[in-house]
Chain A
Amino acid sequence: MAPLVAATGLEKHFPVTRRFSEVLRREHPVSRAVDGIDLFIDEGETVGLLGESGCGKTTTGRLLLKLTAPTAGSIRFADQDLGSLQGPALKKFRQQAQLVFQNPFDALNPRFTIFRALREPLLNAGIPKEEHDERMRIAMRRVRLADVDDYYDRYPHELSGGQLQRVVLARALVLEPRFLVADEPVSMLDVSVRAGILNVMRDVHATMGLTAVYISHDFALVRYVCARTVVMYLGKMVEDGPSAEVVERPLHPYTKALVQAVPVPHVNQSREPLPIKGSLSAASAPVGGCRFRDRCPYAFARCTDEEPPMRELAPGHRAACHLL
């Protein structure tokens, strides 16, 4: 079976401010936010895109939803090329692929009641009016806001952050999409309410068989919600595998440092220095070779000369490193 989402050779470059000397030399420097990604996602899979700020995870999410056009490469969704989608086919894609935003306080129109916010996608999609009520109730039940009548007449400012994020999720689910991208869906919420949203997301996958990509910098969260984890570093994928495998048996030196850096809520934990040097700085991203070599404690000559390809090292577990 063909994957639901198939991205090949995906690249997205953004122009950066030119220095005067570059203007004179007619150079157009770019920031390579996404720099060659092959990502295949099967129907029903939950994938966590993990990485530090600036690694290109958000840009990748935007590309997968056709919210921005790739500089190079292509994306196929349900065997259709996203780049050439237009008119009714594009509208159909927009209904099948939904986005959940990071900040629920900004995601809803403050002048719309919850009822109106939920109905808006149904109106846009031209769903017959008699189906609206049923669909909205199903969506609200899915996010565990079952007592819909308590919410319909309220405005966003009357709800707590946790309730708002559930409404945002319900709005994304009301059209019964096949594909969902959520960008840091709980990072604005307090710890005590995060768990509720994360549980709702787990349920939604189990009951709807939804295919989803979660974008996050939080390793623990990705492991909790996603069966598969993709680790990105400066526009590249460096590791991809079942979440438990990636956490417990990380292959790439970057993933290893990341796993070790995540603080855990126990007093007895490793306080060993991290096996990593320096800090991530997009400006000094090396071009060619391995992107991680400047911070890698094991880097050797080949890492500068040759870019390591993603290779499968255990069933379903791939990484890009010459040492493996």
Chain B
Amino acid sequence: MSVLSVQDLAVHYRTERGTAQAVRGASFEVPEGQVVGVVGESGCGKTTLARAIIGVMPKTASIAGGRLIFQGTDLLTLSPRELASRRWRDIAFIPQSAMNSLDPVYRVGTQMVEVLVERGGMDKRAAKVRAAELFDMVGLDPGRLRDFPHQYSGGMRQRAAIALALALEPKLVIADEPVTALDVIIQRQVLDTFKELQGRLGLSVILITHDISVVAYATDRVVVMYAGEVIESGATAEVLGRPFHPYTMGLYRAFPDLHGSGGTLVPIEGSPPGLISPPTGCSFADRCPFVELRCREERPPLLDVASGSRAACWRVSEADTLRVRAGEAATWLRS
């Protein structure tokens, strides 16, 4: 059972140079009680996707097509008022920089209580009790509710943002790079707290990140995005262990592994295509070592490849061979 079904979603931005197609026909499912990682480089559309789901987008952005089915309702057909009433209650958001999401001039507790009263319909006394419970739950001292955001460390702010997101027991939590700004030790502690709560409360989560290691550590399923498209998705163990798309294969070789044998890392040369006039064919074609004529002419559809995995590549049937070749550094070298 899926909590959220993203179907062929397209999001455009108006820019001075024309329309930028930030998300181009993205489709994936968020199964109930699972953590789905959305991974990709800057500009791949992962944050735009998150903002489209929570319905908070800049004025220059518009939905150009697709559906967002949340518990049987298409979120894109709801009025802004209806959507706003679902925010926090059904779908909550944890931003990358919690510093920007907390108002610096109000005490953290005041902001928590406000959400609980305004959105959750609690009375003030019950809200205060609940705020203390929530703080306890994310591993913060409830006494710190009286503090202002600037009195918190980065890790504490991120925990407070998690507490705020969980305040009204949402079905779905969208976390945009929730630990990126944190040091590794704090990052790990925040992720552990988050995972523990997610399991206990049966939350469904979309975790947006650029870090494959975070995906490997904390997610059940993963969606790999490139230039606005979903190019691979599936169970995390499958996608990382047996990738079907050359980009996913390459990303793996480009990443330093702490316990690595000291083998040479291999960059993926080049950069993603512009989004104002994206190529007609596969968007990875220019950087792909396995590119063929067909790749440049026609965009490959996202097809089922293995148990629950999907990939958008014309050469998926040869994936086993390509994977071996992708493991060799010479494959990725440009002459």
Which positions in A face B, CB cutoff 8 Å?
52-53, 160, 162, 190-196, 198-199, 217-221, 223-224, 244, 247-248, 257-267, 269, 271, 273-274, 276, 279-281
Contact = CB atoms under 8 A, between A and B. Distances in A.
A193 B269 CA distance: 7
B237 interface: yes
Contacts of B216: 263-267, 269
Interface stretch (B98-106, B130-138, B247-255): B247-255
Which 8 pairs between the two chains have the least Cβ-Cβ distance? Answer: A263-B213, A196-B267, A195-B265, A195-B267, A52-B183, A220-B256, A190-B41, A192-B268
A218 B179 CA distance: 14
A29 to B, nearest CB: 17
Nearest to B154: A53
B212 A193 contact: no
B260 interface: yes
A273 B184 CA distance: 13
A53 B262 CA distance: 26
A276 B253 CA distance: 31
A219 B213 contact: no
A217 B183 contact: yes
19 contacts: A52-B183, A52-B186, A162-B267, A162-B271, A190-B210, A192-B268, A193-B271, A194-B256, A194-B265, A195-B255, A219-B184, A224-B265, A257-B185, A264-B258, A265-B213, A267-B216, A267-B236, A279-B153, A279-B155
Contacts of A193: 267-268, 271
A121 to B, nearest CB: 27
B32 interface: no
Contact of A53 (B183, B211, B237, B241): B183
Contacts of A220: 256-258, 260
Among A224, A276, A281, which residue has the most Cβ atoms of chain B within 10 A? A224
A195 B266 contact: yes
A195 B257 CA distance: 12
Contact of B187 (A160, A194, A261, A269): A261
A195 B254 contact: yes
Contacts of A262: 184, 213, 258
Given A191-B251, A223-B258, A261-B185, 8 more contacts: A192-B251, A194-B267, A224-B256, A261-B184, A262-B213, A274-B188, A279-B189, A280-B186
A191 B268 CA distance: 9
Contacts of B264: 199
Interface of B: 41-42, 153-156, 183-189, 192, 210-214, 216-217, 236-237, 240-241, 250-260, 262, 264-269, 271
A269 B259 CA distance: 11
B254 A279 contact: no
B258 A279 contact: no
Contacts of B241: 267
Contacts of B271: 160, 162, 193
Contacts, number: 127
Nearest to A160: B271
Contacts of B183: 52-53, 217, 280
Given A191-B212, A193-B267, A267-B216, A261 B41 contact: no
Contacts of A263: 184, 187-188, 211, 213-214, 216-217
B327 to A, nearest CB: 14
Contacts of A279: 153, 155-156, 185-186, 189
Contacts of B213: 262-265
Contact of A247 (B156, B217, B252, B259): B259
A269 B268 CA distance: 26
A262 B258 CA distance: 8
A274 B212 contact: no
Contacts of A194: 254, 256, 265, 267
Nearest to B217: A263
Contacts of A261: 184-185, 187-188
A280 B250 CA distance: 36
B185 A52 contact: yes
A215 to B, nearest CB: 14
B188 A198 contact: no
A259 B259 CA distance: 9
A274 B189 contact: yes
B269 A198 contact: no
A238 to B, nearest CB: 13
Contacts of A199: 264-265, 267
Contacts of A160: 271
A191 B236 contact: no
A248 B257 CA distance: 13
A178 B322 CA distance: 43
B236 to A, nearest CB: 6
B217 A248 contact: no
Contact of A265 (B154, B192, B252): B252
